[in-house]
Amino acid sequence: MQPNDSNEPIYYSSCYRHGVDEKRRVQIPAKWRPSKPEVLTLVLWPKGTTPEACLLVLPPAEWHDLVQKLKGMSFADPKAQALRHLLGTKSDRVTLDKGGRICLPEGMAKAAAIGEEAMLVGMVDRFEIWNPERYEAAGAVDDQLLPEAFKLI
């Protein structure tokens, strides 16, 4: 399948389990790839009691929107400062290679316990990269939240 070369936005849906090679490269599904190379932002993201549960992957527009929100927050607000620290120190930018792969930074892959395999989980406007076992455990937490979550739509 070729990268998404239409003018339609890319929506990240479904789950994919892919191998991670010795250089920590993971294949991005073809239908998730933009037609032109772009920089994706990886953020070590907490879930439940795990402070570095997975890698949140933000395309350029979502990263830009998040940065704009941060710029609008007070420098005196300790919660905003904590968020700036998280996003400033636990993020990195990566580019898709010609083969449609991204290279996971070593420290981030280790913190998220991503080894020989990774789960890529679509979240409509962004996606996450998980250690498969961690993802399974996190799914149980999501299942408990779903009855209330459905009320949001």
> Does the residue 6 lie in any domain?
no
pLDDT attached to residue 3? 59
> Does the residue 8 lie in any domain?
no
Contact (CB, 8 A) for 100 and 28: yes
Number of domains forming the structure of the chain: 1
In the structure, what pLDDT confidence band is assigned to residue 74 with cuts at 50, 70 and 90?
very high
* Mean pLDDT of all residues in 31-59: 90
pLDDT attached to residue 139? 83
Task: Give phi and psi for 39, each to the nearest 5.
Answer: -90, 130
Burial class (CB in 10 A: 0-12, 13-18, 19+), 30: exposed
> Does the residue 10 lie in any domain?
no
pLDDT attached to residue 101? 96
> Does the residue 90 lie in any domain?
yes
* Full-model pTM: 0.90
In the structure, what pLDDT confidence band is assigned to residue 48 with cuts at 50, 70 and 90?
confident
* Mean pLDDT of all residues in 33-50: 88
> Does the residue 7 lie in any domain?
no
User: 3-class DSSP state for residue 38?
Assistant: coil
* Mean pLDDT of all residues in 4-15: 82
Task: Count CB neighbours of 44 within 10 A.
Answer: 22
Span of 3-7, 12-16, 19-23 with lowest mean pLDDT = 3-7
d(CA 129, CA 103): 12
Residue 1 has pLDDT above 80, yes or no: no
Query: Which domain range does residue 109 map to?
Result: 15-152
pLDDT attached to residue 141? 80
Q: Residue 38 is part of a domain; what is its CATH number?
A: 3.40.1550.20
Task: Give phi and psi for 13, each to the nearest 5.
Answer: -130, 155
> Does the residue 3 lie in any domain?
no
Mean pLDDT (the chain) is: 92
pLDDT attached to residue 7? 67
